[in-house]
């Protein structure tokens, strides 16, 4: 997922007439030009001042306007087919054989869910929930699409009045990692291990805290398994091409199960 996707959360919560919303709209509509624009040029184009651009960058976890430009430049160079986890050949089939591609994609999703049903049992789910229930401070970590899964878990647990914490950017994730102690629980959602390669400093900080750790993953034989206290692998094979459907299915049911268990105690 692109780092600038974090701007969508702001657009979804604030009116388009808001100052930061106007800056975001200009960035999305002119991404090709942003890497060559000075902070003053962006400010003028957005009808704000340079200090407002600086505050805008810090609001979304960028240390400076230069860092924001570097991120946008990198996104501009990214092959869009990679973001969909497709080869160029697979992508071309969508144009030449759209229905066949649609059926193949859907069938692969069904296969991943069936594999999860064969791999996971209720005892595994309840072990996960017991760890959640016995810890007061819980921080959930994720990268890219797994961050959205982390948010889903946070919202689902809140329905059962269990408060957890999720950060929307790297700086806040690091701050949460630094707040952990031996009585805390860190849940890392990483379907295919990208969190550990892209957020290694945050993971190192989690380990430094000596908190209890959980990894929710779809990937067998994870190379960091020795560092994690509890690993919940919900697939027996890789479904990387179709993403995190199994993870989202697992989280959705687990939250329903947790709500049911807590409701019965009332």
pLDDT tens digits for range 69-119: 999 998 888 776 666 666 777 777 778 888 988 998 899 999 999 999 999
- The DSSP string of 159-218 is TTT---B--SSHHHHHHHHHT--TT-EEEEE-SSSHHHHHSHHHHHHHHHTT-EEEEEES
pLDDT the model gives residue 145: 81
Residue 1 has pLDDT above 60, yes or no: no
The pLDDT tens digits for 8-42 are 989 999 999 999 999 999 999 999 999 999 999 99
Look at phi and psi of residue 141 and say left if phi exceeds 0, alpha if psi is from -120 to 50, else beta: beta
Contact of 119 with 234, CB cutoff 8 Å: yes
Residue 263 has pLDDT above 90, yes or no: no
Contact of 98 with 206, CB cutoff 8 Å: no
Among the listed residues 199, 211, 140, 213, the one whose alpha carbon sits nearest the alpha carbon of residue 171: 199
pLDDT the model gives residue 31: 93
- Mean pLDDT of all residues in 237-262: 92
Residue 187 bridge partners (DSSP): 140, 214
pLDDT the model gives residue 69: 95
pLDDT the model gives residue 180: 97
Among the listed residues 184, 192, 195, 187, the one whose alpha carbon sits nearest the alpha carbon of residue 228: 187
The pLDDT tens digits for 141-172 are 998 888 889 999 999 999 999 999 998 878 88
Chain-centroid distance, C-alpha 206: 17
The pLDDT tens digits for 49-61 are 999 999 999 998 8
Contact of 202 with 166, CB cutoff 8 Å: no
pLDDT the model gives residue 70: 94
Residue 136 has pLDDT above 90, yes or no: yes
The pLDDT tens digits for 175-201 are 999 999 999 999 999 998 888 988 899
Helix (H, G, I), strand (E, B) or coil at 111: helix
Encoded tokens for 135: 């810890």
pLDDT the model gives residue 90: 75
- pTM (2 d.p.): 0.81
- For residue 191, count other CB atoms closer than 10 A to its CB: 27
């Amino acid at each position: 997922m692109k780092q600038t996707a974090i701007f969508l959360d702001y657009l979804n919560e604030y009116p388009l007439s808001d100052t930061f919303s106007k800056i975001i709209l200009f960035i999305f509509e002119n991404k090709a030009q942003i890497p060559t624009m000075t902070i003053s040029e962006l400010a003028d184009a957005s009808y704000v001042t340079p200090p407002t651009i600086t505050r805008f960058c810090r609001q979304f976890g960028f240390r400076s306007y230069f860092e924001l430009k570097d991120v946008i430049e990198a996104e501009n160079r990214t092959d869009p087919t990679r973001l969909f986890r497709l080869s160029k050949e697979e992508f071309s089939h969508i144009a030449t054989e759209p229905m066949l591609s649609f059926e193949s994609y859907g069938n692969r999703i069904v296969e991943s869910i069936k594999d999860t049903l064969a791999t996971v049992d209720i005892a595994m789910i309840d072990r996960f929930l017991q760890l959640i229930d016995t810890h007061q401070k819980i921080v959930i970590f994720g990268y890219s699409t797994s961050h959205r899964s982390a948010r889903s878990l946070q919202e689902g647990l809140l329905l059962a009045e269990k408060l957890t914490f999720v950060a929307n950017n790297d700086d806040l994730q690091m701050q949460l990692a630094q707040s952990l102690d031996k009585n805390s629980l860190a849940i890392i959602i990483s379907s295919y291990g990208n969190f550990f390669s892209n957020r290694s400093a945050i993971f190192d900080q989690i380990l430094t805290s000596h908190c209890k750790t959980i990894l929710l993953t779809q990937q067998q034989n994870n190379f960091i398994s020795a560092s994690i206290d509890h690993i919940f692998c919900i697939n027996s094979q890789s479904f990387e091409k179709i993403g995190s459907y199994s993870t989202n299915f697992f989280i959705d049911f687990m939250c329903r199960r947790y709500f049911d268990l807590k409701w019965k105690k009332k």
